[in-house]
Amino acid sequence: MALYETLFITPPTLSEEDEKATVDALLDVVNSGGGDLVTCDRMGRRRLGFPIRKHEDGVYIRFLYDADSEVPKELERRIRLSDQVLRSLTVLLEREWAADARKRAAEEIIRREEAKVEEARRAAEAEAEAKAKAEAGEDAEASAEATESTDTVKTPESPEVSEPATAEVSEAFETSDTASAEAVAKPKEGE
């Protein structure tokens, strides 16, 4: 088995579902022919060197696969029959390039996995931080509510403050009562 690289260009007007269906159909050709897919890269939308079928841009997709010599022939035949592929190119990689390409593909897969793990870790940290802030906010609200409720419960005045106020009021009533009682008991001098 040899290592092949197939690069093809799809129109940018192709929907994601149609692009995925095209890629899946071509991957089935590789897999059904006994090939082993090393990598499938969607290289993205790029400007073409010249218009192809009235398209100025194209979406580049690359397959790197191990297969017998019949698989790339069948893949090229299917690509030529497909109206969803603008251009394609299949090359047999030399042994040195093949080893280097496999190594780079493996490194790329590892790098992507590490990036996914790192992204998941960051998302988990952000979620935990948001949860902690929410709990801290709830705790702060609960303690503020508890403080407010204890303030309203503790509003009765202390006995020291209330006793002089009642004593002063009662003394005022007593003095006014005694003054009015004395005024009633004493007749006016002119009478």
Query: Shortest CA distance to 30 belongs to which of 4, 10, 54?
Result: 4
pLDDT tens sequence across 39-62: 888 989 999 999 999 999 999 999
pLDDT tens sequence across 122-179: 988 888 888 888 887 776 666 666 666 555 555 555 455 445 555 555 555 555 455 5
Mean pLDDT over 82-98 rounds to 85
Q: What is the predicted pLDDT for the residue at 2?
A: 86
- Tracing tokens 């580049």 back to the chain, one arrives at 60
According to CATH, the topology of domain 2-93 is Alpha-Beta Plaits (3.30.70)
- pTM (2 d.p.): 0.54
Q: Where do the domains of the chain lie?
A: 2-93, 95-146
Concatenated DSSP letters of 91-159:
EEPPHHHHHHHHHHHHHHHHHHHHHHHHHHHHHHHHHHHHHHHHHHHHHHHHHHHHHHHHHHHT-SPPH
Q: What is the predicted pLDDT for the residue at 36?
A: 87
Q: What is the predicted pLDDT for the residue at 145?
A: 65
